[in-house]
Structure 1
């Protein structure tokens, strides 16, 4: 889905979180670590207030990543289930099993990227600058799909606390990777 107007999407992986190992609760309830909270404050400072919408995965660590930015910009968070962590590459089930099993993860990754981009595109229609926070298994898929569609180089990976700026101008896309301003622990 190409974006025709001048639109900016700031795509942020959630900041550093409490380690998955040893966490006994639901993954959606896993919070940011103290370093992650510092990174989230630095992200809010770096991005500023010239934004129109903030989208996030429903996971607590994603919401906590963009809450300082939302408070600073005076915006409500828009939760998009399509930005949720993939938790395995097993969808759509009829396309990742049987004869499709050898390429199942690739098909599932394409499906996940399509879900995420479709959800973001609906928000972007009404906003010139949108911030979106998601997970380390969704963002690379989304970036790969978009850079492939627009025929631009895949950006370098960013550490926790970093983000990507995607600028859409008609049929052109530029992607800039930003390192975070706070400790990447």
Structure 2
């Protein structure tokens, strides 16, 4: 199973340099809407079978053009929602950097719990659980490898990638997930493989279509969950 972790397009909060969190009504800005439309060209030709998204507006807007092009009805999963930043929600980032908790978020995020909100360790647990459950569900439904999209938020994506990389959450700030970026994880019976991180190019590697179509893999394919000796088949 292969998931495309899609961050929502640039939002009005991104350009205002505020921490949107779960604030209602935060929409895409003009650039974000362009990014959403561009997803049809970037990944619309891949054999995507399902789209699951955060319940927040900016994620809904991001997947609308892609879902329409694919003829897929997006599902909503609350576990893919943005971090509940509690009392930090809506505040300017320039003000938050002065808070003592900011240093904890940067240096030991596993210990960070936002005032009246949730902790980043809990965010990772819920998001990884959601991704893995949808992976299993789609495998059972289709009886084969499936390529699917999970549209969510920057810190959520970074937390899921850290888990897939086998990296402690305290290192997740080393990972980038820009607006409208795509990161790719292939889950197997033995381990996850991180295929792409923070892809923002014009088109995603069409080889993903082969990954999701076992009929194209050929007799020499490496068994699922096994790493290729030498690091690549290319």
Partner residue of 1:19 out of 13, 26, 30: 13
Instruction: Tell whether 2:42 aligns with 1:42.
Output: no
TM-superposed CA distance for 1:108, in Å, is 2.4
- After superposition, where does 1:15-94 map in structure 2 within 5 Å? 15-19=9-13, 21=16, 27-49=23-45, 50-88=47-85
Residue pairs, 1:75-154, within 5 angstroms: 75-88=72-85, 104-105=111-112, 108-127=119-138, 128-148=146-166
Q: CA deviation at 1:89?
A: 7.5
Point out the more displaced range, 75-84 or 39-48.
39-48
Whole-angstrom distance in 1 between the partners of 2:192 and 2:135: 14
Cα distance in 2, alignment partners of residues 11 and 139 from structure 1: 7
CA contact (8 A) 2:158 2:177 kept: no
- CA-CA distance at 1:123 after TM superposition: 1.8
Bigger CA radius of gyration: 2
Matched-pair contact (CA < 8 Å) for 1:39–1:180? no
Which whole-Å CA distance do the structure 1 matches of 2:189 and 2:148 have between them?
Answer: 17
Matched, 1:159 2:170: no
- State how far apart, in whole Å, the 2-side matches of 1:22 and 1:156 are: 20
SS at match of 2:31: helix
Tell me the TM-score normalised to structure 2 length: 0.60
* Partner Cα distance (2:3, 2:41) in 1: 17
Determine the structure 2 residue equivalent to 1:174: 193
Which structure is higher in RCO with an 8 Å CA cutoff and minimum separation 6?
1
The aligned length equals 162
Q: 1:33 to 1:126 in 2, by over 3 A?
A: same
**1:64 Cα deviation from its structure 2 partner:** 0.8
Cα RMSD over matched residues? Answer: 3.2
- TM-score, normalization by structure 1: 0.74
